[in-house]
Amino acid sequence: MSKPKVILTRKWPAEAEAKAKELFDVVLNEDDHKMSVEELKQAMQTADAICPTVSDFQINDDIFSAENRKCKIVSNFGVGFNNIDTEAAKKAGVVVTNTPEVLTDCTADIAMGLLLCVARRIGEGERLVRNKEWDGWCPTHMLATKVTGKKLGFIGFGRIAQAVAQKAHFGFGMEISFFDPYPPSTEVIQKYSAKQMDSVEAVLKDSDFVTLHCPGGGSNTNLLNKERLGMMKKSAFLINTARGDVVDEPALVQALKDGVIAGAGLDVFAKEPTVTEDLLTMENVVLLPHLGSATTETRVAMGLRALSNVKAFFDGNEPGDRVA
């Protein structure tokens, strides 16, 4: 029996591509270019499965309705799947899967990294040293904000959030609070001695650091708008490793300029890879190029997980990570 044809929309780590070659008749994206909408439509017509990523054009109704579509499963390389219109997928009868769990720890590490960097002015200090502008230690130089023992509020308290709570609570003695419309079990809540809040606003008002862990898109777009940013403490920091569109970026820029909040650590942006110009010149922000899951171990594991979903599907089984 011939192997299913699978198209990877971007370049993957070598180990994951090797596995893809072993399992499927795979088409790689050797030069790692961003596929055009036309290429994505063609992929739909020529492959049995495609494995897209967050940086592709959205696989929307237009792409799902490509004439003579052959593709039966869209296996996302990523846990977030706002790059796929799942309603359009359901309408077209195409299965959609994602890659949860394997990137939990590394994404949580980046959230903690941003939190520490922005609170302790690590990016700023590093720039000072590199620019040869440091003229020595003194008692008032670059005073920052202490992290240990502070209040950390979560918007969304799923797997990645809990991994952040693990590090923040047990490593840094932080007090945990959260809002999640689908809260975890009592056991999980008790593990972190977490305070369950009844609204996003309650978390914002109470926290020294706010970290976002909700999906992007839909009603979460611009969740952190001018009004809600205004509810945060003036001394508070915002951390975003979720999706850029959850924050109203112009409102955040204004809040940072006006001292409405103290700073922000951002791994994701509303219009990646474009970053609002004003952010680039601000010292009270730390900016990363969507690095949450960017370790070799994790990116290989994401590839293998995406492939195992495709394999399960063509073996006639329900893929483990089906989201539509």
Rule CB under 6 A: say whether 79 interacts with ligand DGY.
yes
Token pair of 46, please?
A: 């020529």
Q: What distance in Å separates the CA atoms of residue 301 and residue 70, rounded to the nearest whole number?
A: 27
Of 72-80, 108-116, 249-257, 315-323, the window that binds ligand DGY (rule: CB under 6 A) is 72-80
Interaction pattern, residues 243-272, with ligand DGY; x per rule: CB under 6 A: ------------------------------
Concerning whether 290 is annotated as a catalytic residue, the answer is: yes
Q: In the complex, what is the shortest distance from the CB of residue 79 to ligand DGY, in angstroms, rounded to a whole number?
A: 4
Pairwise CA distance, residues 20 & 15, whole Å? 9
Q: Is 71 in the site for ligand DGY (CB under 6 A)?
A: no
b/e per residue 279-297 (b: at least 16 CB within 10 A): beebebbbbbebbbbebee
Is 169 tagged catalytic?
Answer: no
Interface size with ligand DGY, residues (CB under 6 A):
8
Q: Does 293 bind ligand DGY (CB under 6 A)?
A: yes
Selected from 80, 184, 263, 303, the binder of ligand DGY by CB under 6 A is 80
Residues near 5 by beta carbon (within 8 Å), at least 6 away in sequence: 24, 25, 26, 27, 46, 47, 48, 49
Phi-psi region of 90 (alpha: psi -120 to 50; beta: other; left: phi over 0): alpha
Q: Give the dihedral sign, CA 232/235/240/241.
A: negative
Which CB atom, from 108 or from 174, has the smaller least distance to ligand DGY?
108
In the 8-state DSSP scheme, what is residue 55? T
Residue nearest to ligand DGY (CB): 78
54 scored as a contact of ligand DGY (CB under 6 A): yes
Is 33 annotated in the active site?
no
List, by residue number, the catalytic residues: 243, 272, 290
* Binding region for ligand DGY (CB under 6 A): 53-54, 78-80, 103, 292-293
